[in-house]
């Protein structure tokens, strides 16, 4: 009965703590349901008379993985716990249809006034790959506001890269500044056939531009003094935005490692109050030349954003570059990097000793996000963890990242196996006052207890879930402070097929690792990477997926998430012509230069020559044992002459049809 009343009254009854002040607002609002209004107001009056009414202060989620340290932990969740989920009343409440894939994490602002809407609302803000921004009522699913920021860039304009959908628009999680009422967001638009990135500062109440939008530009001197200029046609903005030090920061990667002769990894910054670019920027590879004219050293982290330490330094991880071109001053590939807030200098770094092997095999260290741990009782060290495609999670001292040790061993505090990580770790403090790291590599959720004497991680639990597409997934943690029995670990699986695939929401008891809830949470269409982060706030959980937002909470009536079918996209003539090319997916059995032998999904063997694709810089790094998709035409000898070579997902069920 208690859970039913909570679900009944939650949309209309709240206490809000403004963040830096004491609790200042106690209100009852009618939301078009007269009977809810009467009951809730009666309880308000009873509580006021008794002087004992106490309801959870409304919680905001304003950035990717919940805070600038990227902990993924909401310690202010009083309604959801293992026991409340086990009651059977938790489930899907509402699904909201949107116009395209949601590649960003939803953000939440409580007690917000919206233009044209009655009363203050708890509002979910999301953006889509069609460059549409939505403001959605968290209680009813009503779409309160929408704003389109321009036409998205078609997949054909970025070489047919398959790490994204047919449209590429708002791909990175924006950030909200509660104090100024602004949503900072970057849109990727196709303006007269030319790709551009634009940074907007939108008013939360209207979604109108509050500041003059800034077209993203940058330049940097290379090692020979020549000037390299930011190229929006070859740069992808996937890592979440960060706000700190009065600035907005964004990081850039490539599209499928295509155009590696031109594409390089950046971290850029702008003043939050004016959107004027900072005088300095961070270009991770400033080499003027490399053996194969291959640069990159990108920042993507599967959608996780740069992290900020308590003393204001920025941390991020980078991906692959030309094998043998690593340089700790001029090319920080495969590295954890610490830079100053003005982006003027690298303060410290850690690079695994096998950096050349990582570059050669496309095993990006930067496939995973960086987590900065809060201070731990009994230790003077400030810790960080990071992991990538190899599945090794490194425990690192924030004040001494470790540099590089040629030949090893790596100068870190510990190395722990978690499984391949297109993911980011989470953090929470247990009822015993001891911190925990939650890793999510491979298909496992592992809870690691932090030891301080010596400094290490000790595995407490290890549970698996059904997931696919890429190794790893994202988690989040909710709890009522450190109260025993309240902590939940939330996870969203990646799709197992492409038909379209169901993605599911899971909840685990953080003490035991036992599963307490699972249910379909949305669908995912196509080959684009599903970097879905569950958002837990105010007794609800929000999951964005292809063309829909799912809202879970207490008081569910047993709704099922609908399977959303995407309308056939409008394609350009150039893309239609290319679509007639032959396409083949398979696992690389042998590799001799640009000549490949593939094992197909049916067990057959086909030869592929990637020379055309490599000359045009439209090929991923070729690695024996990995799956690829090649597009081209067959010659008279039955060899597929590939014009494009893409990375394919590990499971043949996720490969596109051959033709």
Regarding whether 601 and 548 lie in a shared domain, the answer is no
- pLDDT tens digit sequence for 515-527: 999 999 999 987 7
Q: Which two tokens stand for residue 342?
A: 């003005």
- pLDDT tens digit sequence for 531-550: 999 999 999 999 999 999 99
**CA distances from residue 492 to 109, 139, 535, 576 in whole angstroms, order as listed:** 22, 22, 10, 34
Regarding whether 179 and 41 lie in a shared domain, the answer is no
Please report whether residue 566 resides in a domain: no
Regarding whether 597 and 492 lie in a shared domain, the answer is no
Residue 400 has pLDDT above 70, yes or no: yes
**What residues contact 518, with CB distance under 8 A and at least 6 apart?**
465, 504, 505, 506, 507
pLDDT score of 56: 53
Of 536, 554, 572, at which residue does a domain stop?
A: 554
Work out the mean pLDDT of the chain and round it to a whole number: 90
Q: Residue 255 sits in which domain range?
A: 64-554
User: Tell me, what CATH number does 636's domain have?
Assistant: 2.40.50.140
Q: Which two tokens stand for residue 469?
A: 């597409």
Q: Which two tokens stand for residue 5?
A: 């009343």
Regarding whether 530 and 403 lie in a shared domain, the answer is yes
Q: How far apart are CA 74 and CA 66, in angstroms?
A: 7
Regarding whether 88 and 235 lie in a shared domain, the answer is yes
Please report whether residue 572 resides in a domain: no
Question: What is the gyration radius of the CA atoms in the chain, in angstroms?
Answer: 24
Q: What is the DSSP letter of 4?
A: H
Burial class (CB within 10 angstroms; exposed 0-12, middle 13-18, buried 19+) of 50: exposed
Please report whether residue 568 resides in a domain: no
pLDDT score of 566: 60
Please report whether residue 559 resides in a domain: no
Residue 367 has pLDDT above 80, yes or no: yes
Q: How far apart are CA 490 and CA 293, in angstroms?
A: 43
Please report whether residue 564 resides in a domain: no
Residue 226 has pLDDT above 90, yes or no: yes
User: Tell me, what CATH number does 504's domain have?
Assistant: 2.140.10.10
Residue 5's pLDDT band, with cuts at 50, 70 and 90, is: very low
Q: What angle do CA 572, 574, 580 make, to 5 degrees?
A: 105
- pLDDT tens digit sequence for 575-618: 443 446 899 999 999 999 999 999 999 999 999 999 999 999 99
pLDDT score of 547: 95
- pLDDT tens digit sequence for 8-61: 443 333 322 333 322 233 333 333 344 344 434 443 344 333 333 344 579 999
Of 275, 276, 401, residue with least CA distance to 346: 401
Q: What is the DSSP letter of 470?
A: S
Please report whether residue 433 resides in a domain: yes
Across the range 457-483, mean pLDDT stands at 96
Of 554, 571, 601, at which residue does a domain stop?
A: 554
Q: How many domains does the chain have?
A: 3
> Helices 2-9 and 34-50, interaxial angle, to 10°?
110
Regarding whether 118 and 31 lie in a shared domain, the answer is no
Across the range 621-647, mean pLDDT stands at 94
Q: How far apart are CA 187 and CA 193, in angstroms?
A: 15
Regarding whether 82 and 12 lie in a shared domain, the answer is no
Regarding whether 608 and 518 lie in a shared domain, the answer is no
pLDDT score of 563: 82
Residue 565's pLDDT band, with cuts at 50, 70 and 90, is: low
Q: What angle do CA 157, 163, 166 make, to 5 degrees?
A: 50
CB atoms within 10 A of CB 507: 25
Of 426, 423, 449, 425, residue with least CA distance to 436: 449
Looking at the chain, the whole-number percentage of residues with pLDDT higher than 70 is 89
* % helix, strand, coil for the chain, step of 5: 10, 40, 50
Residue 489 has pLDDT above 80, yes or no: yes
Regarding whether 632 and 603 lie in a shared domain, the answer is yes
Across the range 356-384, mean pLDDT stands at 96
Average the pLDDT over each of 68-82, 105-119, 125-139, 567-581 and give the range with the smallest value.
567-581
pLDDT score of 40: 41
Regarding whether 163 and 28 lie in a shared domain, the answer is no
Across the range 399-416, mean pLDDT stands at 97
Q: Which two tokens stand for residue 8?
A: 């009944």
User: Where is mean pLDDT largest: 32-46, 161-175, 491-505?
Assistant: 161-175
**CA distances from residue 103 to 10, 261, 307, 317, 529 in whole angstroms, order as listed:** 28, 27, 19, 20, 9
Residues 136 and 124 sit within 8 Å (Cβ to Cβ): yes
User: Which residues, in sequence order, are bridge partners of residue 16?
Assistant: 25
Q: Which two tokens stand for residue 440?
A: 């999510």
pLDDT score of 580: 61
**What residues contact 229, with CB distance under 8 A and at least 6 apart?**
217, 218, 219
Please report whether residue 57 resides in a domain: no
Residue 90 has pLDDT above 70, yes or no: yes
Regarding whether 586 and 528 lie in a shared domain, the answer is no
Regarding whether 599 and 470 lie in a shared domain, the answer is no
Across the range 473-491, mean pLDDT stands at 98
Please report whether residue 450 resides in a domain: yes
- Secondary structure of 494-533 in HEC code, one letter for each residue: CCCCCCCEEEEEEEEECCCCCEEEEEEEEEECCCCCCCCC
Judged by phi (left if over 0) then psi (alpha if -120 to 50, else beta), residue 307 lies in: beta
Provide the whole-model pTM: 0.91
């Amino acid at each position: 009965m208690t859970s039913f009343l909570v679900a009944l009254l939650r949309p209309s009854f709240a206490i809000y703590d403004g963040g830096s002040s004491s609790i200042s607002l106690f209100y009852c609002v009618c939301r078009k349901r007269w009977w809810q209004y009467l009951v809730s107001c009666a309880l308000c009056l009873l509580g006021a008379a008794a002087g004992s009414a106490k309801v959870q202060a409304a919680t905001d989620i304003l950035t990717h993985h919940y805070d600038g340290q990227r902990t993924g932990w909401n310690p202010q969740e009083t309604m959801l716990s293992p026991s409340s989920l086990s009651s059977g009343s938790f489930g899907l409440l509402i699904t909201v249809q949107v116009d395209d894939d949601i590649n960003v994490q939803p953000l939440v602002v409580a007690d917000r006034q919206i233009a044209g809407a009655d009363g203050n609302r708890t509002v979910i803000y999301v953006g889509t790959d069609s460059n549409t921004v939505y403001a959605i009522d968290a209680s009813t699913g009503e779409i309160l506001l929408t704003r389109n920021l321009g036409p998205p860039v078609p997949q054909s304009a970025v070489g047919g890269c398959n790490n994204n959908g047919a449209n590429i628009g708002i791909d990175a999680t924006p950030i909200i500044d509660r104090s100024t009422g602004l949503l900072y967001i970057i849109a990727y638009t196709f303006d007269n056939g030319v790709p551009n990135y634009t940074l907007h500062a939108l008013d939360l109440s209207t979604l109108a531009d509050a500041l003059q939008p800034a077209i993203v530009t940058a330049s940097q001197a290379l090692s020979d003094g020549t000037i390299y200029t930011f190229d929006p046609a070859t740069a992808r903005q996937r890592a979440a935005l960060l706000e700190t030090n009065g600035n907005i920061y964004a990081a850039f990667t490539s599209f499928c490692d295509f155009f590696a002769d031109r594409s390089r990894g950046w971290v850029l910054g702008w003043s939050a109050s004016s959107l004027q670019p900072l005088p300095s920027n961070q270009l991770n590879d400033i080499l003027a030349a490399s053996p194969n004219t291959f640069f990159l050293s990108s920042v993507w982290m599967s959608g996780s954003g740069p992290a900020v330490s308590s003393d204001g330094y920025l941390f991020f991880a980078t991906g692959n570059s030309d094998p043998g071109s690593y340089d700790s001053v001029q090319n920080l590939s495969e590295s954890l990097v610490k830079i100053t807030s003005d982006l003027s200098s690298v303060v410290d770094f850690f690079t695994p000793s096998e950096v050349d092997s990582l570059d050669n095999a496309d095993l990006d260290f930067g496939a995973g996000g960086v987590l900065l741990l809060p201070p731990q009782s009994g230790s003077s060290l400030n810790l960080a963890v990071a992991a990538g495609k190899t599945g090794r999670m490194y425990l690192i001292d924030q004040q001494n990242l470790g540099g590089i040790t040629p030949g090893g061993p790596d100068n870190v505090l510990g190395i722990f196996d978690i499984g391949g990580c297109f993911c980011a770790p989470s953090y929470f403090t247990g009822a015993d006052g001891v911190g925990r790291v939650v890793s999510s590599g491979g298909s496992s959720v592992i809870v690691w207890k932090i030891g301080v004497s010596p400094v290490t991680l000790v595995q407490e639990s290890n549970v698996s879930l059904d997931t696919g597409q890429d190794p790893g997934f994202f988690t989040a943690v909710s709890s009522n402070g450190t109260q025993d029995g309240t902590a939940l670990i939330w996870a969203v699986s990646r799709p197992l097929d492409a038909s379209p695939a169901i993605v599911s929401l899971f909840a685990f008891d953080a003490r035991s690792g036992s599963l307490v809830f699972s249910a379909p949470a949305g669908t995912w269409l196509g080959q684009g990477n599903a970097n879905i982060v569950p958002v837990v706030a105010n007794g609800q959980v929000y999951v964005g997926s292809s063309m829909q937002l799912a809202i879970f909470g207490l008081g569910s009536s047993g709704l099922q998430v609908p399977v959303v079918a995407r309308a056939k996209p409008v394609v350009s003539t150039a893309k239609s012509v290319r679509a007639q090319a032959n396409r083949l997916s398979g696992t690389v059995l042998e590799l001799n230069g640009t000549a490949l032998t593939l094992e197909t999904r049916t067990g057959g063997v086909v030869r592929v020559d990637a020379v055309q694709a490599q000359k045009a810089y439209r090929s991923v790094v070729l690695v024996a044992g990995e799956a690829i998709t090649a597009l081209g035409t067959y010659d008279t000898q039955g060899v597929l002459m590939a014009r494009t070579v893409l990375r394919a997902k590990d499971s043949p069920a996720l490969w596109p049809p051959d033709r």
